[in-house]
Structure 1
Amino acid sequence: MKNEPQHIPKEFKNPKISITDKGVWPTVSRFVIVSSIGLLVIAFVFLLYGESPDMLNNPLPFILSVLSFNLASEGNIIINRYLDKKSPWFFSISRRIKKQLLWSFLWTVCVVIVSFMALPDHILEGPYFRRSAVLVITFGLIFVLIFNSTLFIRSFLLNWRKSLIEVEALKQAKMQSDYKVLQNQLNPHFLFNSFSTLISEIYYNPSQAIEFTQKLAEVYRYVLQKRNEITVPLHEELDFLNDFVFLHKKRMGNALVVNINISEQYTDHHIPPLSLQLLIENAIKHNCASEQNPLVITVETTENRQLKICNSLQPKRTVHSTGTGFDNIVQRYKMLTGEDIRVSTTPTHYCIELPLLLDAE
């Protein structure tokens, strides 16, 4: 059955501009609204104790109130934007809420302390100062609580919208990858080479023909089993790679050398399925190989949580390639991590580094 793309509501694809967004108009709107709230709070406190809120003769409390409320709101917006990047909602909602509340509380306390330090002595020693301060702080905390709640809801909805779009795009890329992989695996050249090798093994070495057939079956079983997976553990991909390399070595003999050096601490990390198969296949396709000058491919992990695949560079003169397989790996990694795959070339080697993913990623 054909997978139909999920319907994403228009309001989530193109959300309206909010006053918490970046830009001149949102910033000006935010300043006007927050300043008005600050002025109303301090005016209410003056009226509560029977004093006239005279802004012209006594402007300092009003100025400090406006600055404090704006500092509180801008600080919380910056905290929210930073945590959206460093601690996204869907990795751990409870941890995100705890972080945001803690940072918001600490920032609000700093704003309150700085505001009181800016007050002159005659205001600090006033008859109603303590009760007025308690009221202003209470109203300020209520404002911060409501403001943070608005940020929570908006940030959560925006991340939900983003996740809907990215998941749908990832599904489309995955379907394209599945088709490409199956197409590559089932192309006449691969089947011809595999069956030619199998016939030779049956004729000259029947016992190894059984092992070859089992490995061939394992390769196709893995392709079919993992076609719906977004990522797979590295140890599963390496088991599959061993079977895949076995088939090629039976055909190429000593012309192909594959060295695998994987640190145990990374075997439970994840990568997109069939990534290694595509890269190994590309290396074999684009490079010459003989027993006198074998194609050497190395698969190893680095200290910075990368999977590095290098092959000796001995390019064929003419190779027809669309680059679809490699481009698909790049696209999937971009959507999963936001990072680019590192590619480096020297006169003797061609290397690709794939970020290893944690299970939560």
Structure 2
Amino acid sequence: MKIQLNRTDIWTWLATSLLILLLNTNFKTGVIRWDWVISITLSAFVIGQAQSFLIPRLMQKATNWTVQKTIGGYVVITAIVSIITSVVVMVIMQWREEKTYGIGSYVSTSMIYMLMTFAFTSVYVIEQIINRWQTSLLKEQQLSQALLKAEYDTLKNQVNPHFLFNSLNILSALIPEDPQNAVNLVERLSKVFRYNLQNNEKVTVELSTEIKIVEAYLFIHKMRFGDNLSYELDEQAKIASRHIVTQGLLTLVENALKHNECSSEKPLHIVIKLTDAGVAVSNSFQPKNKQFLESTGLGLSNLKKRYELLTPLKLSISQNADFFEVTIPLI
């Protein structure tokens, strides 16, 4: 067995040897019981080497054990090594001194050896258990993050085809009515989808970045609906550097256009503004007739789930007879 001692080990052994020397010195007579000093020091060294050999193997074997089981294994090994060593020392000293020690002496000596062994090796064991716990916690966090990322990507990927189908419906409706504006619409759509592709891997984007795309998206619908659609964009939002969930504003604006009537009898007005709680998207509340409304409820529920995966901050929804408003937090 290869013996390796670092500076801490050397100081520990010096302190231990000094303690053993003091415990076996008669301060009245000045007599030192060298036989006991040497025996206890050697036995302590033997125990240290035995523990250095056994405990790392125990920790390696206990990789998948519970903390309680690992500590139990450590206690058993330490007790066995301490008791065997103390009994051997007592037998040797009994033979040298040609006297008989009672069972009480054996028990008390074994207890002292166990306490000393626990004192000198428990720090190492605790350190190993803490390291294992930290490694396990790190793995759990990595797994949790991977699962959240997978769930988030799934939710985000649901939005893209949903958005694409709605945009194509707008285009198909505009082509026979106004071919020239249909060309302009395609240009705006390309800008919107280029944004989606460029930011596909981003979980969040700057509010100012998405505001520009929302403005292009609203312009597309303005070409289709004319004066039946109006909108206001907060100037401060256009320069805001705080982040929101990618496509968060697009989802809310799309919902407002999809679920509400936009006609000469009932013009639709959309407002995007910064508030203390975040950025709010409000619209005049005039839902379409349910028999013409084909909605999976994907947009808003999807947005809620994505925010839940990223932050404890929650969406705020308010509604009355005149308007519907959703506020999404700034991240």
Place the TM-score, normalised by the shorter chain, in its bin: 0.5 to 0.7
Q: Distance in 1 between matches of 2:159 and 2:237?
A: 31
For 1:191, the equivalent position in structure 2 comes to 168
Q: CA deviation at 1:286?
A: 1.5
Partner secondary structure for residue 350 of structure 1: strand
Q: CA deviation at 1:241?
A: 0.6
Q: RMSD between aligned alpha carbons?
A: 3.6
Q: Distance in 2 between matches of 1:296 and 1:183?
A: 23
Indicate yes or no: 2:147 matched with 1:173. no
Counterpart pick for 2:230 among 244, 257, 262? 257
Q: Point out 4+ residue stretches in structure 1 off by more than 4 angstroms.
A: 46-50, 146-157
For 1:1-361, list aligned pairs within 5 A: 154=133, 158=137, 161-186=140-165, 190-202=167-179, 206=180, 210-263=183-236, 267-304=240-277, 306-318=278-290, 319-357=293-331
For 1:62, the equivalent position in structure 2 comes to none
CA contact (8 A) 1:262 1:299 kept: no
Q: Distance in 1 between matches of 2:310 and 2:21?
A: 56
CA contact (8 A) 1:173 1:328 kept: no
Deviations for 1:302-348, whole angstroms, at most 9, x for unmatched residues?
124x1111111112230232212211111110110023211122222
CA contact (8 A) 2:212 2:238 kept: no
Q: TM-score, normalising length from structure 1?
A: 0.51
Q: Distance in 2 between matches of 1:48 and 1:200?
A: 105
- Residue 157 of structure 2 aligns with an amino acid whose one-letter code is D
CA contact (8 A) 2:282 2:325 kept: yes
Q: Distance in 1 between matches of 2:268 and 2:132?
A: 55
- Residue 247 of structure 1 aligns with an amino acid whose one-letter code is I
- Residue 191 of structure 1 aligns with an amino acid whose one-letter code is L
Gaps of 5+ in 2: 1-18, 24-118
Partner secondary structure for residue 186 of structure 1: helix
For 2:29, the equivalent position in structure 1 comes to none
- Residue 229 of structure 2 aligns with an amino acid whose one-letter code is L
For 2:85, the equivalent position in structure 1 comes to none
CA contact (8 A) 2:222 2:229 kept: yes
CA contact (8 A) 1:194 1:247 kept: no
Cα distance, 1:283–1:266 mapped onto 2, change above 3 Å: same
CA contact (8 A) 2:206 2:243 kept: yes
Q: Distance in 1 between matches of 2:235 and 2:130?
A: 44
Cα distance, 1:227–1:311 mapped onto 2, change above 3 Å: same
Q: Distance in 1 between matches of 2:288 and 2:133?
A: 54
Number of matched pairs: 219
Q: TM-score, normalising length from structure 2?
A: 0.55
- Residue 147 of structure 2 aligns with an amino acid whose one-letter code is E
Q: Distance in 2 between matches of 1:338 and 1:157?
A: 25
Deviations for 1:97-121, whole angstroms, at most 9, x for unmatched residues?
xxxxxxxxxxxxxxxxxxxxxxxxx
Q: Distance in 2 between matches of 1:183 and 1:173?
A: 16
For 1:21, the equivalent position in structure 2 comes to none
Identical-pair percentage: 25
- Residue 347 of structure 1 aligns with an amino acid whose one-letter code is A
- Residue 308 of structure 1 aligns with an amino acid whose one-letter code is A
Q: Distance in 2 between matches of 1:244 and 1:323?
A: 20
Cα distance, 1:150–1:261 mapped onto 2, change above 3 Å: farther
Q: Distance in 2 between matches of 1:153 and 1:332?
A: 33
Q: Distance in 1 between matches of 2:307 and 2:237?
A: 23
